[in-house]
Amino acid sequence: MRQVRCTEDRSNAIAILKDRVSLTISIFHYILYLSCQDAEPPPSSVVHGRAFGGAIGMRRASLLLVGVGLLLVTSCCKSALRPTPTPSPTPTPTPSPVDIARRAGEQMLSTTSLHFVIELSGQLTYLDSPPTLVLKRAEGDLVRPDRVRAIVKISSFGLLSEVAILGLGDEQYITNPLSQQWEKVPPEQGWYFDPALLFDPQYGIEPVLNETAWTFCAEGEIAGQTHTCLHGQLPGERVSPLTSGMVGPGVVTVDVWVGRRDAYVRRIQIVELDSDSEDPTRWLIEFSAFDQPVDIEPPRLP
């Protein structure tokens, strides 16, 4: 685009220059004509010396005016050939970590649905008490305000199994690992896992984003676009509701990856520093498919 504009400016300048050159030639011819008129005076000029001298003065004044005109024409030609300067673009200010976190919190609060994947590594995290069921992975969908469905991978005494969970507000359902039939989870049951708490306006992701002192940690690409990583450190009690109470007390670090263009949070990593000095518990939470239509209805009970 800039090259085309330069070409057009040059063409216009050349056209203006041609006009000025033609005008200069015409003026030059007029000067020659006046010079010829200023040749030897006729004999009668001796008698009329005053009149002849006045005519010469007029012609000299005309020549002076012509010279000034030539200077003006030359100045115009130089101005026409001079390229028009391109204004420098105004730099966009870099948003602070607080600004990025605030925008991400607003985006999360306005999100109606999303797909999530939760993976755990390091020190074991138990779902029940006394501890027998270890949470390994969960994948599913969330619909605001409090609907969730997911496939949860658990380990018990070294054996891996998968169960489906479904939540509709306070009602929780789970599939029996043996019969694969849906069962309603009684409130007094010894284990509880509700990913819908990630959407909770009081304990979920949005208030954590707004209440943490963030710093920049890195930039990277997720899902084909650039993301900014924000790093924070806070008490485990503040993050515990996000994980249905499975994050224990102590210091945790949180890294949040926010899309630079759309402000969606696509990755969260939580590290429980006090869980194990050599291999602490790590939560990796990833989000995708924002605001896609998802239908979550109560299951059919046997």
Which long-range contacts (C-beta less than 8 Å, at least 24 apart) are formed by 7-10?
9/83, 9/84, 10/83
Predicted confidence at residue 2, as pLDDT, reads: 44
Please report the pLDDT score of residue 269 as a whole number: 97
Amino acid at residue number 297: E
Amino acid 86: pLDDT: 77
Tell me which residues of the chain have a pLDDT lower than 50. Answer: 1-7, 17, 38-40, 42-57, 61, 64-65, 68, 72-73, 77, 80-81
Task: Note the pLDDT of residue 24.
Answer: 55
Q: What is the pLDDT of residue 67?
A: 53
pLDDT value for 105: 95
Quickly tell me which residue has 């010469």 as its tokens. 56
pLDDT for res 51: 44
